[in-house]
Chain A
Amino acid sequence: MRAALFVPCYVDQLWPRAGLSAVRVLEAHGVEVAFPEEQTCCGQPMANAGLASAAEPLARRFLEVFGGFDAVVCPSGSCTSMVRNHYDPFLAGAPGFEKLKAHTYELCEFLVDVLGVRAAKGRFPHRVALHQSCHGLRELGLGIPSESMHPRTNKVSALVGSIEGIELVPLARADECCGFGGTFAVAEEAVSALMGRDRLADHARAGAEIVTGTDVSCLMHLEGLARREGRKLRFMHVAEVLAEAAA
Chain B
Amino acid sequence: MSSMPRVSGGHPAAAARFVADEPRTHWHDQALWVVREKRDRAASGIPDWEALRDVAAAIRAHARGRLPDLLEEFERNATARGAKVHWAADAAEHNAIVHRILSERGVTRLVKSKSMLTEECGLNPYLEARGIEVVDTDLGERIVQLRHEPPSHIILPAIHLKREEIGELFHGKLGTPEGLADPKALTEAARGHLRERFLAAQAGLTGVNFAVAETGGVVVCTNEGNADMGTSLPPIHVACMGVEKIVPRLEHLAVLLRLLARSATGQPVTTYTSHFHGPMAGGELHVVIVDNGRSRLLADPGLRGALACIRCGACLNTCPVYRRSGGYSYGWVVPGPIGSVLAPARDPAAHATLPFASTLCGSCDAVCPVKVPLHDTLLRERRTLAAAGLVPLGKRVGLRLLAALLAHRALYEVAGRLLRFALRHFPRFLLYGPWNVWGRRRELPAPPAESFRDTWRRTRGRHG
Contact = CB atoms under 8 A, between A and B. Distances in A.
Interface of A: 7, 9, 11-17, 19-20, 23, 34-35, 37-41, 43, 45-52, 54-55, 57-58, 61, 86, 134-135, 137-139, 145-150, 173, 176-177, 179-196, 198, 220-221, 223-225, 227-228
Given A57-B407, A181-B360, A195-B321, 5 more contacts: A9-B406, A49-B395, A50-B381, A187-B356, A228-B442
A12 B413 CA distance: 10
A45 B412 contact: no
Contact of B321 (A37, A46, A188, A196): A188
B442 A13 contact: no
Nearest to A23: B456
Given A9-B406, A43-B403, A49-B399, A186 B437 contact: yes
B357 interface: yes
Contact of B437 (A150, A189, A227): A189
Provide the main secondary structure of the chain A interface.
Answer: helix
A176 B443 contact: no
A138 to B, nearest CB: 4
B386 A52 contact: yes
A132 to B, nearest CB: 10
Given A49-B391, A188-B356, A224-B445, A41 B325 contact: no
B324 interface: yes
Contacts of A221: 442
Nearest to A146: B40
Contact of A150 (B19, B50, B454): B50
B320 A195 contact: yes
Given A12-B453, A184-B359, A149 B50 contact: yes
A37 B386 contact: no
B46 to A, nearest CB: 7
Interface of B: 11-12, 15-16, 19-20, 22, 25-26, 29, 33, 40, 43-44, 46, 49-50, 318, 320-321, 324-325, 355-363, 365-367, 379, 381-387, 391, 395-396, 399-400, 402-403, 406-407, 409, 412, 416, 419-420, 423, 437-438, 440-445, 447-448, 450-457, 460, 462, 464
A195 B324 contact: yes
B316 to A, nearest CB: 14
A154 to B, nearest CB: 14
Given A147-B366, A194-B324, A46 B409 contact: no
A49 to B, nearest CB: 5
A104 B242 CA distance: 44
A181 B395 contact: no
Contacts of B456: 23, 35
A15 B447 contact: yes
Nearest to A186: B437
Given A12-B452, A57-B403, A149-B50, A191 B356 contact: no
Contact of B366 (A55, A138, A180, A190): A138
